[in-house]
Structure 1
Amino acid sequence: MAANESHYSLPRPSFDRAPKLLIVVAPYYKDIADQLVAGARAEIEAVGGTHDTIEVPGALEVPTAIGQAFRMSDFDGFVALGCVIRGETTHYDTVCNDSSRAITLLGLQGACIGNGILTVENRAQAEVRADAAGQNKGGGAAAAALHLIALARRWGGTKRSVGFMPKADEFQIATGGDKL
């Protein structure tokens, strides 16, 4: 069982300027979500960081909210939290795969995200993983986001566009507007 395994964790990063994170949680299983959030908050506060927390209806909405905040806010990083417990239909697979894929794609665009959306077979597994005094997967997700923030700051932290960007002359021709 995973509860008995030991693993290596990186030491906490340190920051000259306190990081600001957004915790996005899907509280479908409220007691599980509360434990995940408690672990994430404690980890962020342990490095002197600040956080805001928002709730969304479900795990599929977590990456959408993070994507909006990444484009429209000044957060340094994000913590995705929630719990998906296998049910009787293939909906479990869709929610697990699509939420994870969307979070990964946001990360590849430069968002510093720790993914703490639990994907488990049953409630007992979720309780063990969420427990802030146990496996503390919420704290682990926050730690992942903090490490990515530290890397982004180390490498300059500037946001760059990903994908096609027309040259100024092409933009002017295409839009009939002034040069950028």
Structure 2
Amino acid sequence: MASNETHYTLPRAEFDRPVKLLIVVAPYYRDIADQLIAGARAEIEAAGGTHETVEVPGALEVPTAIGIAERLSNFDGYVALGCVIRGETTHYETVCNDSSRGITLLGLQGLCIGNGILTVENMAQAQARAELAGQNKGGGAAAAALHLIALARNWGGSRKGVGFQPARDEYQIAGGGKDPSTA
């Protein structure tokens, strides 16, 4: 069982200027969500950061809210929180897979996101993972986002997009001629 294993944890990220994170939570299981939020807030504050919290209807909406915030706000990073408990239908797999995929795709675009959406079999597993005195997955998700922000700042900050970027050198023709590709 995971709670009996010893895991290595990176030292807390440190910053020379403040960080601001958005906590996006799906509070379907309110008591679990509240514990996840408390853990995330405590970790952000311990690193000297500030945070805002917004609620969305469910785990599937968490990546969308993060994408909107990235386009319209000024957050350094994001903490995705929620809990999905297996039920009697395949809806569990859809919610788990698609919320995780959405967060991963945003991360691959350069967003600094800690994923704290629990995907569990039952309420006892959710409680063990959410409790601050337990596995504190909310705090772990915030720590992950903070570490990614630290890496981004260390590597020089934000760039537009990822992957292949075409060369943007100015085309110069001796004698002041026009760039043949625009003629």
* Counterpart residue identity of residue 102, structure 1: G
CA contact (8 A) 2:86 2:121 kept: yes
- CA drift at 1:162: 4.0
Q: Distance in 1 between matches of 2:128 and 2:164?
A: 45
The equivalent residue for 1:79 is 79
The equivalent residue for 1:115 is 115
Percent identity between the two aligned chains: 81
Q: Distance in 1 between matches of 2:55 and 2:101?
A: 20
* Counterpart residue identity of residue 44, structure 2: I
* Counterpart residue identity of residue 88, structure 2: E
* Counterpart residue identity of residue 92, structure 2: Y
- CA drift at 1:18: 1.0
The equivalent residue for 2:38 is 38
SS at the partner of 1:28?
A: coil
Please report the RMSD computed on the Cα atoms of aligned residues, expressed in angstroms. 1.9
Q: Distance in 1 between matches of 2:99 and 2:12?
A: 27
Q: Distance in 1 between matches of 2:117 and 2:86?
A: 13
The equivalent residue for 2:17 is 17
Residues 6 and 163 from structure 1, CA distance in 2 versus in 1: closer, same or farther, beyond 3 angstroms? closer
* Counterpart residue identity of residue 135, structure 1: Q
Q: Distance in 2 between matches of 1:51 and 1:139?
A: 13
Deviation string 1:31-72 (CA, Å, 9 cap, x unpaired) is 000000000000000010000000000000000000111111
Q: Distance in 1 between matches of 2:152 and 2:5?
A: 31
Query: TM-score, structure 1 length as denominator?
Result: 0.90
* Counterpart residue identity of residue 49, structure 1: G
The equivalent residue for 1:148 is 148
* Counterpart residue identity of residue 119, structure 1: T
The equivalent residue for 2:171 is none
- CA drift at 1:22: 0.1
- CA drift at 1:165: 8.1
Gaps of 5+ in 2: 169-183
Deviation string 1:109-152 (CA, Å, 9 cap, x unpaired) is 01000000000000000000000111000000000000000000
SS at the partner of 1:114?
A: strand
Query: TM-score, structure 2 length as denominator?
Result: 0.88
* Counterpart residue identity of residue 18, structure 2: A
CA contact (8 A) 2:21 2:51 kept: yes
Gaps of 5+ in 1: 168-180
The equivalent residue for 1:53 is 53
* Counterpart residue identity of residue 21, structure 1: L
The equivalent residue for 1:92 is 92
The equivalent residue for 1:8 is 8
Q: Distance in 1 between matches of 2:63 and 2:30?
A: 19
- CA drift at 1:158: 2.0
